[in-house]
Amino acid sequence: MFFHEIDDDLTLKLMELDDAKELFNLTDASREYLREWLPWVDGTTTVDDSRGFIEHTLRGFKDKKSMTMAIRYKGKLVGTAGFNSLDWSNKIACIGYWLGENYQGNGIMTRVTHHLTDYAFTVLDFNRVDIRAAHENTKSQSIPKRLGFVEEGQIRQAEWLYDHYVDHVVYGMLASEWENQ
């Protein structure tokens, strides 16, 4: 099972089915906040929905197609982050993340994303890491900007959010750029 301590307060670990209730409670507590940018929130109405999500992430990890982990801050599950997709042929990892509303502003996601980026380059030996964020989601965009990712462009109507499409801004980091930081 993947487990990594980022610092004294912050860890990443593959989720287990036993995490379903805690994950659901976090989602439920931040439902309105998360719904603005995440299309899956309305479909998560029970602990079983969170359990199904965890099963999906574990299959993705087993098949080496993705790697989604629980973020634990001071022992509490506060969000998820990881590689939404792993393209082994082209050596590209796509990072995705979300954090419960009450845990914003502590530098958690910047530290997690830094760790994931470094892991993609130093452990997985990938060449590229992508992060996509909705054009209007400035909080999410601040993470790759802070870490020195290059804004590469915009994908029009990239995601359906309940009743409208949103554009995505694409950020990229190459292994050679990461080494030179």
Token duo for residue 79: 């969000």
* pLDDT bracket for residue 1 (50, 70, 90): low
Q: Which CATH homologous superfamily contains domain 3-130?
A: Gcn5-related N-acetyltransferase (GNAT) (3.40.630.30)
Strands (E) located in the chain = 3-5, 10-14, 67-73, 76-87, 92-99, 128-134, 150-161, 164-174
What per-residue confidence (pLDDT) applies to 73? 97
> Are the beta carbons of 144 and 171 closer than 8 angstroms?
yes
Using one digit for the tens of pLDDT, what is the confidence trace for 37-54? Answer: 999 999 999 999 999 999
Contact 133, 171 (CB under 8 A): yes
Calpha distance 30→114 (Å, rounded)? 24
**Residue 59's pLDDT is what?**
97
For the chain, the structural domain boundaries read 3-130
CA separation for the pair 40, 141 (Å, rounded) = 20
Mean residue pLDDT of the chain comes to: 96
Write out pLDDT tens, residues 114-136. Answer: 999 999 999 999 999 999 999 99
Does the structure show a pLDDT above 90 at 110?
yes
